[in-house]
Amino acid sequence: MRYMFNPEHLTTLQAVVEEGTVLAAADRLGITASAVSQQLGRLQRETGQPVMARRGRSLEPTDAAAVLVRMAEQLRDLDESARSELERLRQDVGGTLVVSGFPTAVYGLLAPMAARLQQRHPDLELTVRELAPEESVPAVRRGEVDLAVVHDWTDRHVPLRDRVHVWPVGLDPVDLVAPHDHRLVMREGGVDLEDLDGQVWIDDSPGVFSDWLLSTLESRDVRYRVGAAVDSERGKVALTAGGFGLCLLPRLGREQLPADVVALPLVEAPTRRVLAVHRDSSHGRPAVQAALGIVREVWAEHADLPDVDQVSL
């Protein structure tokens, strides 16, 4: 039997449509730009009409491309459904599973989850990837990741596009980390961000966490200067210990702080929602459900983290 469209070519077209350029699609797929162009050419010949049209310096998908991208998504869903049914025929959880999470989720959730999952289901081939939330959800939708642990804020939800299922995991409060001799250390009842006027901050790279901090400071007319953009917790703590500035650190995955810094509770503390996301079509996969169950099991063992019942979707 000869199929009209090569699934690989459909996936390549989808990458070009979503990324906007051949070069970006090639980078995402791990192939050369020439290979992407060749696959688009073959797909166009099979279709008998253009799939991409040039508009000035950019490429835009045609109506035919929209049809083929929709077909690519349907094929991926069919593949996922077949895999789910085949896995349910097994006596134990097996197959392959790719799980992703942001850095502190890898440290605080996915590392212990991976150990337990491998111990309980030795036939499962597990891969763990560290990805920011804004990277994880698209990777889930593309089929590159099966289960992603992501976060947003309780007062600022990141919109999750269709075709994904979201499970609440828990709430992750954020504390102010300051030198042990900072003037606010003895403040009772928590620290208000408005008490931090004129401070130097150790921020993250642009993303969900940084966006919240800067927009909150600006909305309260609090003067500030970003003195450093550091993603690693150890780097932030080291700069704070040296008196360079202040930082915010969530509780999940936080290492024990050295004696020369202290974590202070905040009034109306910013709180992250921690969520697990998978494709709708993978809901019935035993491997996905096993990993999700252990993630929530590990979370429940953190006494300082609010549990899943307090998460609203």
**pLDDT value of position 240:** 95
Q: Show pLDDT as tens, one digit a residue, over the chain (313 residues).
A: 445 678 888 888 888 888 888 888 888 888 888 888 888 888 888 888 888 888 777 778 888 888 888 888 888 777 777 777 777 777 678 889 999 999 999 999 999 999 999 999 999 999 999 998 888 988 898 888 999 999 987 666 666 666 788 999 999 988 999 998 877 766 666 788 888 889 999 998 887 778 878 888 898 899 999 999 998 899 999 999 999 999 999 999 898 899 999 999 888 777 889 999 998 888 888 999 999 999 999 999 987 787 666 666 5
Determine the straight-line distance between the first and last CA of the chain, rounded to whole angstroms.
46
pTM of the model: 0.75
Measured CA angle at 127 (ends 39, 211), to 5 deg = 85
- Give the whole-angstrom CA distance, residue 69 versus residue 117: 35
- SS3 percent helix, strand, coil of the chain, rounded to 5, is 45, 25, 30
Residues 151, 171: Cα–Cα separation, whole Å: 9
* Cα–Cα distance measured from residue 43 to residue 212, given in angstroms and rounded to the nearest whole number: 43
pLDDT of residue 170: 92
Asked if 171 and 306 touch (Cβ cutoff 8 Å), the reply is yes
Question: Do 149 and 169 touch, CB atoms closer than 8 A?
Answer: yes
Q: How far apart are CA 64 and CA 9, in angstroms?
A: 14
Residue whose token pair is 């703590």: 237
pLDDT of 83: 77
What is the reported pLDDT for 1?
A: 42
Domains defined along the chain, listed by start = 7-85 (1.10.10.10), 93-170+272-310 (3.40.190.10), 172-270 (3.40.190.10)
